[in-house]
Amino acid sequence: MNTKLLSAAVPCYNSQAYMEHCISTLLEGGGDDIQIIIVDDGSEKDNTAKIADAYMEKYPGIVRAVHQENGGHGEAVNTGLKNAEGLYFKVVDSDDWVGIEELRQVLDTLRELVRKNEESGDPLPDMCLVNYIYDKVGQTHKKVMDCRGYMPVNRVFTWKEAKPMPPWKYVMMHSVIYRTQMLRDSGLVLPKHTFYVDNIYVTYPFPFVKYLYYMDVDLYHYYIGRSDQSVNEEVMKSRIDQQLRVNKIMIDDMVRLDPQDRHARNYMFHYLQIITVISHLLCILINTEESKKLSDDLWEYTREKDEELYKQLHNGLMGTAIRVPNRKLVINIYHLLNKVYGFN
């Protein structure tokens, strides 16, 4: 019996500088309908653990602090899911935050969906989607990523009704709220000590999602600006091995879990295509013989796993675009997109 509408997992690793802002927005917007699971992922350099315990002591019916040996972001999400008591589950990174009024709107919607399910047997959505904001330091105009025009608004629908998205738009972790039991039933377990596993978290459950619901609400503030942030361009280049590992896991999942619903497959493929382009683009930016070999190896890995998938990725519009001989042109296009969207 779920006692909360929503469980929010907050993975924390030496996060004392910003975690309180994140948690305060969840507390103020969520009230008694939310469970906040603060996962202290082996923090040793600051007071993250003490802050987590203080919140649990002050809000015993809402906040739970869980301490574990360092396992990385993925293991913190795994732990959050294991401890979730809410009907729905969302990951909120400790340096991000949610809009307070927007969270109240989301919870009102979830409450109404539950009421309709109990009274009329209407299906509960397996995946709810919200908008997220690229909250980049120094930018006055914050880019909002939404699903307007691609998904029905404020009603339950199936993958068949979701329209294909353009290359610059895709469903990120910040967008999704999964039904907790569906997520557990899918068997999702994220790898330890691996960066960029949020990409796996988003796409792995797609084949298990039957019903969706899109709320045109700017809920999630995705903070961009720390020099040590995992999505910082220089950090991503230094962790190209992590990016490629996640990319290969997503290829494996695509082959193993290939959804029967072609519309769900299209969304899964679309996401994989973007991550694959990012991987090859990072190799181009690094611009060494080793990085060129890594790029070639990724193409070969894809071909060995599934020839048809390889052709779709390699010969598609995005795959073709990053293979043009003019390296400078490719990099300029990347920097132009980054300037427009502010994604790192």
Per residue in 267-276, pLDDT tens?
A: 999 999 999 9
| Residue 200 scores a pLDDT above 90 | yes
What pLDDT is stored for residue 191 in this prediction? 97
What pLDDT is stored for residue 166 in this prediction? 87
What pLDDT is stored for residue 186 in this prediction? 97
Given a contact cutoff of 8 angstroms between Cβ atoms, the answer to whether 284 and 236 are in contact is no
What pLDDT is stored for residue 198 in this prediction? 96
Q: What share of the chain is helix, strand, coil (3-state, %, to 5)?
A: 50, 20, 30
What confidence tier does 226 reach under pLDDT thresholds 50, 70, 90? low
What pLDDT is stored for residue 334 in this prediction? 65
Instruction: Tell me how far CA of residue 344 lies from CA of 64, 73, 198, 231, in angstroms.
Output: 31, 18, 15, 5
Average pLDDT over residues 203-217: 97
**Considering only CA atoms, which of 192, 110, 125 is closest in space to residue 162?**
125
What pLDDT is stored for residue 341 in this prediction? 45
What confidence tier does 231 reach under pLDDT thresholds 50, 70, 90? low
Q: Where are the domains of the chain?
A: 4-224, 233-341
- Name beta bridge partners: 88: 6, 179
What confidence tier does 224 reach under pLDDT thresholds 50, 70, 90? confident
* Tokens at 177, concatenated: 């709220």
| Residue 189 scores a pLDDT above 60 | yes
Place of tokens 């990120």: 172
Average pLDDT over residues 231-238: 83
In degrees, rounded to 5, the angle at the alpha carbon of residue 246 between the alpha carbons of residues 256 and 221 is: 115
What pLDDT is stored for residue 336 in this prediction? 60
> Three-class SS string for 105-148?
HHHHHHHHHHHHHHHHCCCCCCEEEEEEEEEECCCCCCEEECCC
Average pLDDT over residues 221-230: 74
Place of tokens 């709220």: 177
Start-to-end C-alpha separation, the chain: 41
| Residue 1 scores a pLDDT above 50 | no
| Residue 133 scores a pLDDT above 80 | yes
What confidence tier does 229 reach under pLDDT thresholds 50, 70, 90? low
Percent of the chain with pLDDT over 90: 79
Amino acid at 55: Y
Question: 4-224: which CATH number, 3.40.630.30, 3.50.50.60, 3.40.50.1980, 3.90.550.10?
Answer: 3.90.550.10
Q: What tens digit of pLDDT does each residue of 156-181 get?
A: 999 999 999 987 788 999 999 999 99
The helix-helix angle for 240-257 and 289-305 (nearest 10°) equals 10
- Name beta bridge partners: 90: 8
What confidence tier does 259 reach under pLDDT thresholds 50, 70, 90? confident
Given a contact cutoff of 8 angstroms between Cβ atoms, the answer to whether 89 and 46 are in contact is no
* Tokens at 277, concatenated: 């382009």
Between residues 120 and 233, the one the model is more confident about: 120
What confidence tier does 235 reach under pLDDT thresholds 50, 70, 90? confident
Q: What tens digit of pLDDT does each residue of 275-298 get?
A: 998 899 899 889 999 999 999 999
DSSP 39-57: EEES--SSSHHHHHHHHHH
Q: In 3-state terms, what secondary structure has residue 65?
A: strand
Say what the pTM is. Answer: 0.93
* Tokens at 17, concatenated: 């500088």
